[in-house]
């Protein structure tokens, strides 16, 4: 445990989302004249602020929410001892305390980052398929289409975070019964009736019978999953024959678009150094930094219960450096996510690398400067999916 006073020296601790957005989105015009890169204009920044204000930040602080949380229609209050069993504080951030695996924060600032990431991922176009404003690249509609049996289809989102993906999917597929599970009891306003939230540690097991769901989706669990083969096997177990399993994860480290690590180091030394230390911290914590591109794909391919395994790479830009409209829109959203990453991973890096806070913050500052400078930095994201055999 650190000896750091809460919120000390943190670029973001104690700030409101609007303050952070205003501080970081000052606009930047890149000197680079290539047609894929024009940086962010002032209009972009104004539209970003307008967009941000329109996002329904209704995910309640869990401490507040706990006092009037609905569970299976029975209202109950979370006592402080219950709350202490779920959360812990460290270096000014709140973390879940239900397991020792997941090590990113679980507080309002993190929930905001996750929502921006969600909108950025939706906006992003892949090299081969348009992803703009869609919640999936995988053939989820096919898995959920009416099969004429009169039985409602079932979808599961694992590690639902703020629940935003599950809510939007429940709205898009109203005749499907959705479940969103997470380590923490996050719940949002405006949850559709066909969506049920539950609190569960999916790395221990998923509390549903075999062959239960038509589609199981898991996104961004890299900082909480130490045993992908076991987890994937469990996901496949609860998926019905003919159903779809979908995994969406980033690889580490991030780098310059279509460039080698050496090129990233030469052009963006600050981003390179931070990304390198972050990747090493993740590895030390027991996370698989190549799960997205390699492990998930190979585990799915080796499993006799699934076939038609597919992978699509759809990296996202860390700022609005691109001209292509979907990339640019994604970059506008992703910039907030990208500049929040040092703060989000600070405690993880301090612990894993046994590094003092000031050093981690200096690395993070240099990384943010490279993002602010409008370099063509991307986070590599991979979508992996497979169908369970049997129909
Ligand atoms: C980085 S967030 C991603 C949230 C969401 N999937 C998204 O894409 O916006 C990871 C979420 O997974 C949850 N999580 C991590 N490990 C988990 C586990 N073993 N079981 C259930 N949820 C888990 C965390 O609590 C956190 O809310």
Q: What is the pLDDT of residues 256-288, one digit of tens each?
A: 999 999 999 999 999 999 999 999 999 999 999
Distance CA 16, CA 151 (A): 45
Please indicate whether residue 102, judged by its CB atom, sits closer than 6 Å to ligand 1. yes
pLDDT-based confidence at residue 177 (cuts at 50, 70, 90): very high
Q: Compute the C-alpha angle 225/227/228, nearest 5°.
A: 80
Residue located nearest, by CA, to atom 4 of ligand 1? 161
- pLDDT tops 50 at residue 19: no
CA of 338 to the centre of ligand 1 (A): 18
Longest dimension (CA), the chain: 61
Ligand 1 atom closest to residue 218's alpha carbon, by position in its atom list: 6
- pLDDT tops 50 at residue 64: no
Residues 6+ apart with CB under 8 A from 171: 192
Please indicate whether residue 234, judged by its CB atom, sits closer than 6 Å to ligand 1. no
Distance CA 385, CA 137 (A): 9
Distance from the Cα of residue 37 to its chain's centroid = 25
Sign, Cα dihedral of 35, 41, 43, 47? positive
Percentage of the residues of the chain whose pLDDT score is greater than 90: 65
* H or E stretch at 270: helix 269-284
* Contact of 249 with 220, CB cutoff 8 Å: yes
Q: 146, exposed or middle or buried, with CB in 10 Å at 0-12, 13-18, 19+?
A: exposed
Distance CA 75, CA 68 (A): 6
Nearest alpha carbon to residue 53 among 62, 45, 43: 45
CA of 43 to the centre of ligand 1 (A): 34
Please indicate whether residue 219, judged by its CB atom, sits closer than 6 Å to ligand 1. yes
Q: 221, exposed or middle or buried, with CB in 10 Å at 0-12, 13-18, 19+?
A: buried
Least confident interval from 50-54, 88-92, 260-264: 50-54
Residue located nearest, by CA, to atom 13 of ligand 1? 159
11 or 357: which leads in pLDDT? 357
DSSP-assigned letter for residue 119 = H
Best mutation site among 55, 102, 198 for ligand 1 pocket (most ligand atoms within 8 Å of CB) = 102
Mean pLDDT confidence for 71-100: 73
Ligand 1 atom closest to residue 219's alpha carbon, by position in its atom list: 6
Ligand 1 atom closest to residue 161's alpha carbon, by position in its atom list: 27
Least confident interval from 116-120, 242-246, 272-276: 116-120
Distance CA 342, CA 282 (A): 13
Q: Output the pLDDT for position 391.
A: 66
Ligand 1 atom closest to residue 117's alpha carbon, by position in its atom list: 9
Q: Output the pLDDT for position 76.
A: 36
Residue located nearest, by CA, to atom 23 of ligand 1? 159
Report all structural domains of the chain as residue ranges with CATH numbers, in order of start: 17-388 (3.40.50.150)
Q: Of all residues in the chain, what percent are helix, strand and coil, respectively (each to 5)? A: 40, 20, 40
> Angle between the 108-123 and 325-353 helix axes, to the nearest 10 degrees?
140
Mean pLDDT of the chain: 81
Q: Output the pLDDT for position 188.
A: 76
Residue located nearest, by CA, to atom 8 of ligand 1? 219
Nearest alpha carbon to residue 169 among 224, 212, 216, 208: 216
Q: 200, exposed or middle or buried, with CB in 10 Å at 0-12, 13-18, 19+?
A: middle
Residue located nearest, by CA, to atom 26 of ligand 1? 161
Q: Output the pLDDT for position 20.
A: 34
- pLDDT tops 70 at residue 69: no
- pLDDT tops 70 at residue 7: no
**pTM of the prediction?**
0.83
Best mutation site among 221, 238, 287, 381 for ligand 1 pocket (most ligand atoms within 8 Å of CB) = 221
Q: 294-306: per-residue pLDDT in tens?
A: 999 999 999 999 9
Mean pLDDT confidence for 118-135: 68
Residue located nearest, by CA, to atom 12 of ligand 1? 159
* Contact of 346 with 110, CB cutoff 8 Å: no
- pLDDT tops 90 at residue 8: no
Residues 6+ apart with CB under 8 A from 81: none
**Within 13 Å, how many C-alpha atoms sit on residue 180's CB side?**
24
Please indicate whether residue 159, judged by its CB atom, sits closer than 6 Å to ligand 1. yes
Sign, Cα dihedral of 59, 63, 64, 65? positive
- pLDDT tops 80 at residue 167: yes
Ligand 1 atom closest to residue 184's alpha carbon, by position in its atom list: 25
Q: Output the pLDDT for position 78.
A: 53
CA of 181 to the centre of ligand 1 (A): 8
Q: 333-385: per-residue pLDDT in tens?
A: 889 999 999 999 999 999 999 999 999 999 999 999 999 999 999 999 999 99
Q: Output the pLDDT for position 200.
A: 94
């Amino acid at each position: 445990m650190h000896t750091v006073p809460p919120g000390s020296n943190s670029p973001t601790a104690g700030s409101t989302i609007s303050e952070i957005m205003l501080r970081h989105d000052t606009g930047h015009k890149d000197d680079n004249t290539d047609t894929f890169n024009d940086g962010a204009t002032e209009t972009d920044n104004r539209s970003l602020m307008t967009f941000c204000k329109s996002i329904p930040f209704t995910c309640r602080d869990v401490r507040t929410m706990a006092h009037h949380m609905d569970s299976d229609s029975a209202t109950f209050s979370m006592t402080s001892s219950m709350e202490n069993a779920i959360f812990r504080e460290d270096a000014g951030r709140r973390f879940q305390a239900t397991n020792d695996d997941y090590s990113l924060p679980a507080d309002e600032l993190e929930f905001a980052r996750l929502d921006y990431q969600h909108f950025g991922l939706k906006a992003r176009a892949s090299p081969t398929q348009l992803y703009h404003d869609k919640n999936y690249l995988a053939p989820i509609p096919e898995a959920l289409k009416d099969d004429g049996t009169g039985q409602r289809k079932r979808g599961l989102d694992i590690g639902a975070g703020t629940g935003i993906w599950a809510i939007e999917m429940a709205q898009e597929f109203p005749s499907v019964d959705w479940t969103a599970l997470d380590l923490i009891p996050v719940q949002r306003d405006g949850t559709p009736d066909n969506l049920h939230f539950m609190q569960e540690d999916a790395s221990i097991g998923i509390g549903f019978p075999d062959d239960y769901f038509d589609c199981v989706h898991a996104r961004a669990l890299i900082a909480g999953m130490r045993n992908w083969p076991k987890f994937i096997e469990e996901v496949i177990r609860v998926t019905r024959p003919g159903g779809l399993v979908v995994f969406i994860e980033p690889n580490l480290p991030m780098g310059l678009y279509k460039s080698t690590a050496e090129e990233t180091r030469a052009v963006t030394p600050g981003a390179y150094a931070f990304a390198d230390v972050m990747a090493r911290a993740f590895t030390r914590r027991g996370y698989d930094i190549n799960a997205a591109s390699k492990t998930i794909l190979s585990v799915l391919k080796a499993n006799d219960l699934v076939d038609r395994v597919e992978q699509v790479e759809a990296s996202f830009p860390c700022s609005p450096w691109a001209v292509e409209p979907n990339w640019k829109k994604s970059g506008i959203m992703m910039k907030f996510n990208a500049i929040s990453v040092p703060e989000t991973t600070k405690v993880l890096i301090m612990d894993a690398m046994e590094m003092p806070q000031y050093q981690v913050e200096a690395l993070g500052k240099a990384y943010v400067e490279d993002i602010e400078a409008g370099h063509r930095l991307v986070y590599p994201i991979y979508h992996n999916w497979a169908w369970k055999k049997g129909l």
